[in-house]
């Protein structure tokens, strides 16, 4: 990724720092959200920003878009930027959906002529034609988000900045939204995206920047994701396909000899997903005596009638204790040894 570039970069950040003050009634404390960031993003690059909460991701995006200005250093960009940090910004509850299209789209940098041209396709994509002339306060929150998303993706900037929570709405709409996002990624525009959806990022981006405490820890290709995941020691609570005969399926899988491998497709995602819905999981049959703390194990859940994935913690009597990495009580789980299936090998 670090090739010489003749073209002017889409975004060039030089020694950028951003200082905030943490104020309370008595005093204020200095706090650097970003420290000495040097970053060149070439035209057409698809960049993912990784990092925990508070690592400085949002600040970085804010500086790139010009919402905030750096305390030190300089930022230059060439081309029109649209940031989709909040797709419902500018919405006004008293106004109709149609009027809100105008209010929101103009914030994204479109002029009236352009909006008029796109109005019909925005309405069609949102799928709320029937309610478009009703006041926004009559909409459900899902409808508002759908409208917001439809407006956002019709903006046609040179540089797209996406924050997490962009894919919204019910399942049908999610599919549509996801396809649309893939389409935008295919268009050859510069995209900077910040999300916890690692599998999505891995599929769509070609450059990964890992931020921690306001500094760039790693910058490169897909290897960054692996390092990041190692460090984070991700937990996963995922399941594999459900069907009426899943109990039979489990019996069959259980009968497979130790060392055998099989793949499954995840049928749902979780809040901190390592495996996105639809991702393939490689499960290896192992003897549970060989389990190590931190292994991701697959087991049968009678409650859900499906295979669940969680992180192995320790063995207690005849039970396996699973535990995530955020120390919440609710994150603990007990699994009967008899229900144990194997470990996940492609997501560690």
Partner 1 sequence: MTKLITWQYYIDFVLLLTKKEIQSRYKRTLLGFLWVILNPLLQMLIIGLVFQFFVPMKIENYFLFLFAGLLPWSFFTNSLLRTTPILVQERSLIQKAAFPREILVVSAVLANLFHTLIASSVFLLFLVFLQSSLLAGIYFLFSRIFLFAIFFIIFLFFVLASCLIVSAEYVKFRDINFIVQLAVQLLFYTVPVIYSLDMLPAFFRQILYWNPLVSFIEVFRAITLGTNFNIQTAILVALLSFIFLLLSLFIFKKESKNFDDWF
Binding stretches for partner 1 (CB under 8 A) = 20-21, 62, 65-69, 79-81, 83, 85-86, 89-90, 92, 94-95, 99, 102-103, 106-109, 111-113
Minimum Å gap between C-beta 30 and partner 1 is: 12
Minimum Å gap between C-beta 40 and partner 1 is: 18
Minimum Å gap between C-beta 163 and partner 1 is: 9
Minimum Å gap between C-beta 161 and partner 1 is: 10
Nearer to partner 1 (CB atom), residue 52 or residue 158: 158
Minimum Å gap between C-beta 159 and partner 1 is: 9
Nearer to partner 1 (CB atom), residue 62 or residue 310: 62
CB atoms within 10 A of CB 62: 21
Nearer to partner 1 (CB atom), residue 90 or residue 220: 90
Minimum Å gap between C-beta 13 and partner 1 is: 15
Nearer to partner 1 (CB atom), residue 81 or residue 209: 81
Nearer to partner 1 (CB atom), residue 21 or residue 329: 21
Nearer to partner 1 (CB atom), residue 92 or residue 117: 92
């Amino acid at each position: 990724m670090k090739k010489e570039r003749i073209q002017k970069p889409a975004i060039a950040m030089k020694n950028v720092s951003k200082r905030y003050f943490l104020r309370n009634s008595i005093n204020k404390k200095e706090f650097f959200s970003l420290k000495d960031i040097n970053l060149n993003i070439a035209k057409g690059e698809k960049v993912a920003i990784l990092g925990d909460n508070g690592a400085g991701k949002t600040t970085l995006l804010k500086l790139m878009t010009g919402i905030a200005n750096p305390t030190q250093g300089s930022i230059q960009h060439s081309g029109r930027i649209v940031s989709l940090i909040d797709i419902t910004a500018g919405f006004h509850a008293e106004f109709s959906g149609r009027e809100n299209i105008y209010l929101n789209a103009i914030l994204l940098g479109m002029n009236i002529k352009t909006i008029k041209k796109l109005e019909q396709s925005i309405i069609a994509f949102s799928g709320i034609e029937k309610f478009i002339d009703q006041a926004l306060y009559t909409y459900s929150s899902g409808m508002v988000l759908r409208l917001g998303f439809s407006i956002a993706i019709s903006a046609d900037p040179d540089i797209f900045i996406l924050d997490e929570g962009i894919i919204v709405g019910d399942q049908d709409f999610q599919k549509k939204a996801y396809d649309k996002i893939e389409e935008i990624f295919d268009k050859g525009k510069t995209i900077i995206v910040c999300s916890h959806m690692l599998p999505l990022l891995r599929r769509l981006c070609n450059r990964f920047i890992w931020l921690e405490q306001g500094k760039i820890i790693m910058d490169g290709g897909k290897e960054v994701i692996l390092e990041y995941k190692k460090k984070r020691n991700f937990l996963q609570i995922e399941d594999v396909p459900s069907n009426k005969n899943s109990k039979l399926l489990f019996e069959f899988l259980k009968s497979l000899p130790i060392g055998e491998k099989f793949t499954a497709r995840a049928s749902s995602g979780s809040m901190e997903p390592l495996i996105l819905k639809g991702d393939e999981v490689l499960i290896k049959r192992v003897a549970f005596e060989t389990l190590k703390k931190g292994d991701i194990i697959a087991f049968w859940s009678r409650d859900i009638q499906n295979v669940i994935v969680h992180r192995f913690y320790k063995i207690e009597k005849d039970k396996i204790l699973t535990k995530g990495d955020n120390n919440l009580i609710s994150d603990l789980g007990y699994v009967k040894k008899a229900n144990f299936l194997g470990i996940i090998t492609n997501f560690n």
